[in-house]
Amino acid sequence: MGKWFVVFVKAGTEDAVVKHLLRHLEGGRYLPFVLTKEVLHRVGGSNQATFKKPLFPGYVIVSTENSPDEVLDDFAKIIFGNIHRILNRGNDKKDIMLHESEQSRWESLVDSDFCINISTGVLDGKKVIVTHGPLVGKEDQIVKLNKYKQKAILKVEFAGEMVDMSFVLRIQKGSQVNHDQ
């Protein structure tokens, strides 16, 4: 997989922008996608349905092996009203690629469809232990847990900025770690 950069687009048009980019950029040199996450929706009493929603509405990620100069040249040729601009870091307009460490953290969270799936865990006193899903091993990044709404808030980096992000974390009922074993 190549290096990632972020395209700021009109919110709600992310899928249309991905399709447009796939049609108008040289085949195989770019892979545009939308980062998504699984969320829960209560349907009736206690029944819950899961669906995917954009993790960052208004943003499309593009993976490429091309240099920043090539990316900027190729994007200058694309005219599409829903694309606002490519995000850059600081004052250098060519500094558009995500830092390797940031990209690596996102890659560790998403599946092959660039979706952050639901995680499950147990409680050890007040400490959370994630047993399954993308949040395994990331317990120290959880800044807040709402076990009733099944949400974990993590402080994550996106395009160089730290943001609070909620992810589904199902705490298994009656699940306390037994230390007597």
Judgement on whether residues 147 and 123 belong to the same structural domain of the protein? yes
Which pLDDT score, from 0 to 100, does residue 117 have? 95
Last residue of a domain, one of 75, 101, 117: 117
Last residue of a domain, one of 117, 132, 150: 117
Asked if residues 61 and 5 have their Cβ atoms less than 8 Å apart, the reply is yes
Judgement on whether residues 58 and 76 belong to the same structural domain of the protein? yes
Judgement on whether residues 72 and 161 belong to the same structural domain of the protein? no
Instruction: Note the pTM of the prediction, 2 decimals.
Output: 0.84
Average pLDDT over residues 41-56: 78
Q: Is the pLDDT of residue 37 over 70?
A: yes
The domain of 76 spans 1-117
How many structural domains does the chain have? 2
Judgement on whether residues 66 and 100 belong to the same structural domain of the protein? yes
The 10s digit of each residue's pLDDT in 103-125 is 999 999 999 999 999 999 999 88
- Report the mean per-residue pLDDT for the chain: 87
Judgement on whether residues 94 and 6 belong to the same structural domain of the protein? yes
CATH code of the domain covering residue 71: 3.30.70.940
Judgement on whether residues 68 and 129 belong to the same structural domain of the protein? no
